[in-house]
Structures are given as structure tokens and as C-alpha cells.
């Protein structure tokens, strides 16, 4: 067993290496199931549901703000666990931009921006679409 890629060395690109995997698989070494996966699902829901609610309120208003609609779309992706790094990063950038443009009360935007960034870095967890699409696969080789 070699820790060369783990400790900062270069990983070999080949059929058996993690570097040859799919894009989301390269970002996260595991998609935890069980209690850690359930907690990540709960964290994704706690971050996404208020943003989806705010987006729905914005869409129903006479002058919808496109930034809130985009954030709500990213929150739906985050809630499903689809393209979690992209959705969390988009939420982080948009929410922190809104915090900067609303200096009178930025803390709600900062809160959701930090949650989006944390979820982008932590990953989707085992209870997600990303885990089903990009997670570890078990290959069974038939006997001859």
C-alpha cells in the first residue's frame, strides 16, 4: 500500500487510480453513509429549504430578482445532492455578494454563504444523487 498520492506525491493516472475517476469522485474520497451521511443530508436541507422558500417568494413578487432565483435553483440542486460542489460554491458566492451589497443587515447572507461553502467542501454524503452517480462502484469479476 502506497501513500505517495495521499502525502502530496503525484498519483499515477491509470485504470486503477482515483485520479482516473469521474469529476465529483476526484473531489471527495468517500461518500459517507449511516449517521455521517444523514447529518450531511440534514445540513443540506437546513441550508437549502430557506433559500428555496425565499426564491419562491421572490418569483411570486411583481419584480423577481434574478439573483434570488438562481440561488433557489442552486438550493434545489443542493437539497437533492446533485452537483453539490458547484451548487454550494454558487450559493456561497451569491450569498456573500448579497451580504456585501446589503451592508445594513448582512448576517443572514453571510450565514447561508458560509453554509454553502462548507457544503461545497464537505461533499454530498451517501444520501445524495452525487453518491449514486459518482460514488464508489463494486466490480465483481466472474470466476473462470
pLDDT tens-digit profile of 25-68?
566 657 888 888 899 999 999 999 999 999 999 988 887 788 99
Count structural domains, the chain: 1
Domain containing 121 equals 32-134
| Torsion sign (Cα): 115, 80, 89, 137 | positive
Query: Does residue 95 surpass a pLDDT of 90?
Result: yes
Residue 122 lies in a domain: yes
Residue 27 lies in a domain: no
Residue 78 lies in a domain: yes
* Higher pLDDT among residues 71 and 134, named by residue: 71
Residue 5 lies in a domain: no
Query: Does residue 8 surpass a pLDDT of 50?
Result: no
pTM equals 0.74
Residue 115 lies in a domain: yes
Residue 142 lies in a domain: no
The mean pLDDT of the chain is: 82
Amino acid at each position: 500500500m502506497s501513500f505517495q498520492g495521499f502525502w502530496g506525491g503525484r498519483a499515477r493516472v491509470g485504470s486503477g487510480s482515483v485520479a482516473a475517476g469521474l469529476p465529483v469522485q476526484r473531489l471527495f474520497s468517500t461518500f459517507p453513509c449511516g449517521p455521517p451521511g444523514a447529518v450531511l443530508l440534514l445540513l443540506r436541507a437546513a441550508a437549502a429549504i430557506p433559500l428555496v422558500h425565499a426564491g419562491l417568494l421572490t418569483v411570486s413578487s411583481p419584480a423577481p430578482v434574478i439573483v434570488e432565483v438562481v440561488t433557489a435553483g442552486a438550493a434545489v440542486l443542493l437539497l437533492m445532492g446533485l452537483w453539490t460542489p458547484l451548487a454550494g460554491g454558487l450559493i456561497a458566492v451569491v450569498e456573500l455578494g448579497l451580504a456585501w451589497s446589503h451592508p445594513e443587515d448582512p448576517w443572514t447572507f453571510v450565514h447561508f454563504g458560509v453554509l454553502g461553502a462548507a457544503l461545497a467542501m464537505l461533499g454530498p454524503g451517501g444520501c445524495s444523487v452525487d453518491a449514486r452517480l459518482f460514488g464508489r462502484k463494486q466490480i465483481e469479476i466472474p470466476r473462470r
